[in-house]
């Protein structure tokens, strides 16, 4: 066997690794990425500068004002069902506030309707009852394939304008449903406007009462958290909803008595002219057509989100709840839906944003939301560029609000790794 002889005078230490030479800067990926981003940003800035400069030059050549002082001028038109607004009211803040308020009212009610109905329809699609399952499937497959504008026009004209409801005039009085045993109207229905009871101010302590009620809501939240901690530490039933509701109700009653009964019932009634609903809460057919249409349309998409989220919950969870002898309602309430919500919240955010932006279709049924009022102002000679920029900012604000709200809820429902 041959052996290797090592010369004791020669060092056997390993050679140092050869340092990798950096490529020249025109081939360095890091430098190229930075340069590419700088060039892209510069190109976008130059393009925007050219477009804005071109726009300002053309507006100046045509004698169109490019400032925003015009938004403080009068609108020169009135708004339907808003007696506090006339043609001398300024665009900012009066007209913009009316538009934002109407957009928000339609979006909030439509979202609430879409969530409740969509959840029920989504659960119904997974029902073991053949009729409930088929009806839920028919609802989803029908409404989600109809453009929302078509639904809005259908409700606005087929249901209201040319529908079964009587016209709002002295010769054809609207339907008036009385509270049994009284002369008060519970509802007034016509093809142009509806009226229902509402709360009205009875004295000057309304603001104080609402502040105390807000405090009662904060107390209910504290009680909710307290009962949750009791359940975690002792295992006793939390009964958070019962304790929180009783706390809110008790403090609300005390606040109502302490402020001398600041609210009273306001019952709707037909005016002497027979064309207007006085007192109560009155709304027009455009609002109902827009809100109901968007609520029904969005519910079909929410139903599919809920159905997919429930199917994504492991089957072992439902089997375990059946082994514990939980009823169908308890299984969904305590086991399935809490886990499905973690999956459903992110895509639901997009549906809320879509519904809010789709309120701009209310212009088809003459509902005075933000887009319709901006469009009317432009038609009355106001500069389009400034108003359209303000309109985009309004919808941008709505989108940020819903995103912030639902992202908070999303973080609240997500599982935290330990």
Identify whether residues 180 and 236 lie together within a single domain. Answer: no
Residue 19, in any domain of the structure: no
Q: What is the pLDDT of residue 172?
A: 79
Residue 2, in any domain of the structure: no
Identify whether residues 239 and 225 lie together within a single domain. Answer: yes
Residue 5, in any domain of the structure: no
Identify whether residues 229 and 249 lie together within a single domain. Answer: yes
Identify whether residues 303 and 385 lie together within a single domain. Answer: yes
Please give the tally of structural domains in the chain.
3
Q: 391-394 — which CB contacts under 8 Å span 24+ positions?
A: 394/96, 394/99, 394/100, 394/103, 394/370
| Structural domain for 42, as ranges | 34-67
Q: How is residue 206 written in tokens? A: 């309304």
Q: What is the pLDDT of residue 16?
A: 59
Identify whether residues 281 and 173 lie together within a single domain. Answer: yes
Cβ neighbour number for residue 400 with a 10 Å cutoff: 11
Per-residue pLDDT reduced to its tens digit, 332-377: 878 888 888 888 888 888 899 999 999 999 988 888 889 998 988 8
Q: How many CA atoms lie within 13 A of 215 on its CB side?
A: 13
Domain-ending residue, one of 210, 239, 266: 266
Q: What region does 264 belong to: left with phi over 0, alpha with psi -120 to 50, or beta? A: beta
Identify whether residues 170 and 294 lie together within a single domain. Answer: yes
Q: What is the pLDDT of residue 248?
A: 93
Q: What is the pLDDT of residue 299?
A: 94
Identify whether residues 187 and 206 lie together within a single domain. Answer: no
Residue 370, in any domain of the structure: yes
Average pLDDT in the chain: 85
Per-residue pLDDT reduced to its tens digit, 241-263: 899 999 999 999 999 999 988 88
Distances from the Cα of 202 to the Cαs of 111, 211, 256, in angstroms? Answer: 31, 16, 11
Q: What is the pLDDT of residue 133?
A: 92
Identify whether residues 205 and 335 lie together within a single domain. Answer: no
Residue whose C-alpha is closest to residue 359's, from 373, 345, 347, 346: 373
Residue 112, in any domain of the structure: yes
Residue 139, in any domain of the structure: yes
Identify whether residues 178 and 249 lie together within a single domain. Answer: no
Query: Using CA atoms, how far apart are residues 167 and 173, in angstroms rounded to an integer?
Result: 7
Which single residue is written with the structure tokens 């008060």? 184
Q: What is the pLDDT of residue 1?
A: 47
Q: What is the pLDDT of residue 8?
A: 54
β-strands 281-284, 263-266: how paired?
Answer: unpaired
Residues 306 and 340: beta-carbon distance below 8 Å: yes
CA dihedral 358, 359, 361, 362 (to 10 degrees): 160
Residue whose C-alpha is closest to residue 134's, from 122, 143, 125, 145: 125
Identify whether residues 243 and 276 lie together within a single domain. Answer: no
Q: What is the pLDDT of residue 12?
A: 54
> What are phi and psi for residue 265, nearest 5 degrees?
-80, 135
Identify whether residues 121 and 163 lie together within a single domain. Answer: yes
Query: Using CA atoms, how far apart are residues 106 and 85, in angstroms rounded to an integer?
Result: 20
Q: 396: helix, coil or strand?
A: helix
Residue ranges for the chain with pLDDT beneath 50 = 1-2
Residue 11, in any domain of the structure: no
Identify whether residues 169 and 42 lie together within a single domain. Answer: no
Q: How is residue 348 written in tokens? A: 């639901």
- Partners of 169 in beta bridges: 172
Residue 282, in any domain of the structure: yes
Find the CATH number of the domain harbouring 317.
Answer: 1.10.3720.10
% helix / strand / coil in the chain, to the nearest 5?
65, 10, 30
Per-residue pLDDT reduced to its tens digit, 376-413: 888 887 888 888 888 999 999 998 988 888 788 777 77
Query: Using CA atoms, how far apart are residues 372 and 106, in angstroms rounded to an integer?
Result: 14
């Amino acid at each position: 066997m041959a052996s290797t002889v090592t010369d004791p005078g020669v060092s056997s230490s390993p050679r140092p690794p050869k340092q990798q030479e950096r490529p020249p800067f025109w081939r360095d990926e890091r430098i190229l990425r930075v340069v590419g981003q700088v060039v892209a940003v510069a190109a976008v800035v130059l393009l925007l500068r050219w477009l804005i400069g071109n726009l300002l030059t053309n507006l100046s050549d045509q004698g169109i004002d490019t400032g925003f002082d015009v938004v403080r001028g009068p609108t020169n038109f009135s708004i339907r069902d808003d007696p506090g607004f006339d043609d001398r009211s300024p665009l900012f803040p009066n007209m913009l506030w009316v538009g934002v308020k109407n957009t928000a009212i339609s979006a909030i009610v439509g979202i609430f309707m879409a969530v409740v109905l969509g959840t029920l329809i989504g659960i119904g699609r997974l029902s073991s009852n053949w009729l409930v399952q088929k009806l839920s499937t028919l609802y989803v497959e029908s409404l989600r394939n109809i453009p929302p504008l078509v639904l809005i026009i259908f409700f606005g004209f087929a249901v209201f304008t040319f529908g079964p409801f009587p016209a709002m005039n002295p010769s054809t009085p609207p339907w008036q449903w009385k509270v049994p045993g009284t002369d008060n109207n519970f509802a007034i229905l016509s093809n142009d406007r509806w009226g229902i009871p509402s709360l009205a101010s009875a004295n000057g302590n309304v603001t104080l009462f609402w502040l105390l009620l807000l405090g009662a809501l904060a107390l209910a939240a504290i009680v909710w958290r307290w009962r949750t901690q009791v359940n975690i530490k002792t295992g006793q039933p939390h009964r958070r909803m019962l304790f929180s509701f009783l706390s809110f109700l008790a403090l609300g009653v005390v606040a109502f008595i302490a402020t001398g009964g600041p609210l009273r019932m306001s019952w709707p009634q037909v005016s002497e002219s027979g064309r207007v609903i006085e007192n109560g809460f009155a709304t027009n057919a455009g609002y109902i057509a827009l809100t109901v249409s968007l609520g029904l349309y969005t519910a079909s998409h929410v139903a599919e989100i809920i159905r997919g989220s429930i199917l994504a919950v492991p089957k072992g969870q439902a089997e375990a709840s059946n082994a514990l002898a939980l009823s169908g309602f308890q299984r969904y309430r305590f086991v399935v839906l809490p886990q499905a919500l973690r999956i459903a919240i992110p895509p639901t955010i997009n549906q809320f944003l879509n519904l809010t932006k789709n309120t701009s279709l209310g212009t088809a049924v003459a509902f005075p939301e933000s887009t319709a009022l901006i469009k009317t102002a432009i038609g009355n000679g106001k500069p389009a560029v400034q108003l359209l920029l303000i309109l985009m900012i309004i919808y941008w604000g709505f989108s940020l609000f819903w995103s912030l709200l639902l992202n908070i809820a999303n973080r609240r429902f997500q599982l935290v790794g330990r």
